[in-house]
Chain A
Amino acid sequence: MTRNPQLTANGELTHLLTLEGLPAAIVTHILDTAEPFVSIAEREVKKVPLLRGKAMFNLFFENSTRTRTTFEIAAKRLSADVINLNIGASSTTKGETLLDTVDNLCAMNADLFVVRHSQSGAPHLIAAHLTAKGRSHVHVVNAGDGRHAHPTQGLLDLYTIRHYKKDFRALTVAIVGDVLHSRVARSLIHGLTTMQVPRVRVIAPRTLLPTKVESLGVEVFNDMREGLSGCDVIVMLRLQNERMKGALLPSAGEYFKHYGLTGDKLALARPDAIVMHPGPMNRGVEIESPVADGARSVILPQVTFGIAVRMAVLSIVSAN
């Protein structure tokens, strides 16, 4: 297989495309870099000049408010110029290809692309194209591609876990829900295994698990009560509306009964277990409100940390 395309020949991070194959040292470096950025947000002047004069394009081929906004805030706090492009599905009807769009924006002297796309591998295609065109000074950060990866979400999840739990090597982490369609789950699984978390569990009905998911290094549970037992961290995944009723699941109600996180199910985990969710939440579908808003929930800190982690990623790739 070819060299991991997000690293330079010297092994430095030039794009962030996936957490798969990323050395633990680089992950730790990103998390460490994010630490001081958390406190910047608490200052009166929330800006540092690390990316002054750089043009960052938020290239969103798929709708997103939260991720786009947090990238925008992260870039602005680094003093970059941010241009938001919500291309959505209309670009393809206009006939411009993905790479035509990229070439046009390069002609406008882009330094950084933050890309979200409905197709797995789209950011890899852009990164390979930039290399082929001799534009290795332009960086790509994957903000979610199809079912494949959402590496900054994975990193902010790792940051959150490290913040509350300190030592990765003693943890049991459960990821609950629609793993089949989830780029968040894939990135987090790669991140956790890279950081040597000994027990990573996925909990879902069999219709929401990809084939051979255990090859990613996880234990599979179909019974949520069994899977939550002894967990330090519970990560709930969002269930898309269109998947709640149909061939994958009979109803949102039955899903909640078996896989929704309730107070009594949470009681099966360790008493100090934390509850995470990448958002946006479906209250009453995958998680009940008292748990989402409860003392063990770290869902809002995740959002805060997310900005710091994205600042770290943007500053690190730009420097390489």
Chain B
Amino acid sequence: MKLEIRNGRLIDPARALDRAASLFIDAEMIASVGEAPRDWRPDRVVDAAGCIVCPGLVDLAARLREPGFEYKATLESELAAAAAGGVTSLSCPPDTDPPLDEPGLVEMLKHRARQIGQARVYPVGALTVGLAGATLTEMGELAEAGCVAFSQADVPLHDTLMLLRALQYAGTFGHRVWLRPQDHHLAFGGVAHDGEVATRLGLPAIPVAAETIALAKIFGLVRETGVGVHLCRLSSADGVAMVRGAKQEGLPITCDVGVHHLHLCDVDIGWFDAQANLMPPLRGTRDRDALRGAVIDGTIDAICSDHAPVDDDGKQMPFAEAEPGATGLELLLPLTLKWANELKVPLVDALARITTGPAAILGAAPASLAKGSAADVCVFDPAAAWTVCADALRSQGKNTPFLGLEVAGKVRATLLAGRVVHEA
């Protein structure tokens, strides 16, 4: 199958390239950029006039809900959502039921994802058996089955000695550990940022110190062990400052932020809007602004969708009882573009945070349009506006705080290994 993407504006963050050029794809690979290979006769031509052609997006946090929570979402529904959102590679956290703590579960997930064939799935394995924090998982076996890293998802690991051991063990085999920095005791029972809004609404609160204390603990253990840690879902200005300092110190850490946190803050809870119940909680405007800036200066390496399909029953509850999370796979691109537009970030830099940045953290092949790369491509119209609503989303999760918002940026085509997996 020979495919040509014509008339588009090519943006390839891996090579800081931004120019009008055609892309030639042959045998699942990028065969050429700009100039047609010899005797080129495409089987198919995609007209990308007015569109941007970039590497397929890479998302570090997409809950697919399988196994165990199929009533919320399935691999079929969520991988279709990934394709519709231009996401060609994604990693899923281990907080399924049962958690991803056995090679068989991981193999099954990889197998099902390959069968569906709409995105590459990179499972993150459980750091401890059952995520219970007591016994290390068989990380060697899990890595062979396809796990790219190990984490506790959102489940706290109380025991600092256990965390130290887990880092040492993961480091033995060269695995990275992904941790969401949140002190369990300070966060216990909390559902909102500890500030004026939570005080006014009488919501149990989570102070910023829950994040900074967890970061201090993690940095201490990284210094002790030298093992690389990826920090998931930073939420506060103070946290940003600490990560910046730790990177300057040379600690082997990387960091991501959920795309919601680049736009929303605790005020958006309004009158108890459960759509704004996210974890970590939406914090103050100062925190949001710090996160927005930290993505520009590279303190934050990647923006992720923090995709969490939640059904209506999970959201139609009093705020504190509602299930946290929001659908995100199809909003990652438009919300990243919105951030870039508002802060006047060049597109090539903005797209780096959802392509090359996260790809490097995954340890996957670099997201690139260079000749010889896998032809994972996203073609999108940056000007096309659409309104976020249930009908516009492929994901089984229809709940998001952005319902009703008009966004710009519509994916016209997604290619996975040279195959068109989504067209609109």
Contact = CB atoms under 8 A, between A and B. Distances in A.
Interface residues of B, number: 24
Contact of B200 (A2, A117, A186): A186
Contact of A125 (B196, B203, B272): B272
Given A183-B202, A211-B198, A212-B196, 8 more contacts: A5-B271, A119-B319, A120-B201, A125-B272, A125-B317, A146-B202, A210-B199, A210-B205
A54 B311 CA distance: 36
Nearest to B196: A215
Interface of A: 1-2, 4-5, 20, 97-99, 117, 119-122, 124-125, 128-129, 145-149, 183, 186, 210-213, 215-216
Enumerate the 7 nearest inter-chain pairs by beta-carbon distance, A residue then B residue, closest first: A121-B272, A147-B202, A148-B202, A119-B318, A210-B199, A120-B202, A122-B318
Contacts of B249: none
Given A2-B271, A148-B202, A210-B198, A120 B318 contact: yes
Considering residues B200, B270, B271, which has the most beta carbons from chain A within 10 angstroms of its beta carbon? B271
Considering residues B194, B199, B203, B318, which has the most beta carbons from chain A within 10 angstroms of its beta carbon? B318
A120 B317 contact: no
Contacts of A97: 313, 316-317
Contact of B316 (A99, A212, A215): A99
Interface string B312-326: 010011111100000
B201 A121 contact: yes
B199 A2 contact: no
A213 B199 contact: yes
Interface string B141-180: 0000000000000000000000000000000000000000
Interface in B321-351: 321
Contact of B267 (A1, A4, A120): A1
B91 to A, nearest CB: 33
B366 interface: no
Interface of B: 194-196, 198-205, 207, 267, 270-272, 274, 313, 316-321
B199 A124 contact: no
Nearest to B316: A99
B291 to A, nearest CB: 20
B317 A98 contact: yes
A210 to B, nearest CB: 4
Contacts of A147: 202-204
A4 B272 CA distance: 12
B403 to A, nearest CB: 13
A98 B207 CA distance: 29
B318 A125 contact: yes
Contacts of B194: 211
A20 B202 contact: no
B202 A186 contact: yes
B199 A215 contact: yes
Given A1-B270, A211-B194, A215-B196, A149 B202 contact: yes
28 contacts: A1-B267, A1-B271, A97-B313, A98-B318, A99-B316, A120-B318, A120-B320, A121-B201, A121-B203, A121-B271, A124-B272, A125-B272, A125-B316, A125-B318, A125-B319, A129-B316, A145-B318, A146-B318, A147-B203, A183-B202, A186-B200, A210-B198, A210-B199, A211-B194, A211-B195, A211-B199, A212-B195, A215-B200
Contacts of B267: 1
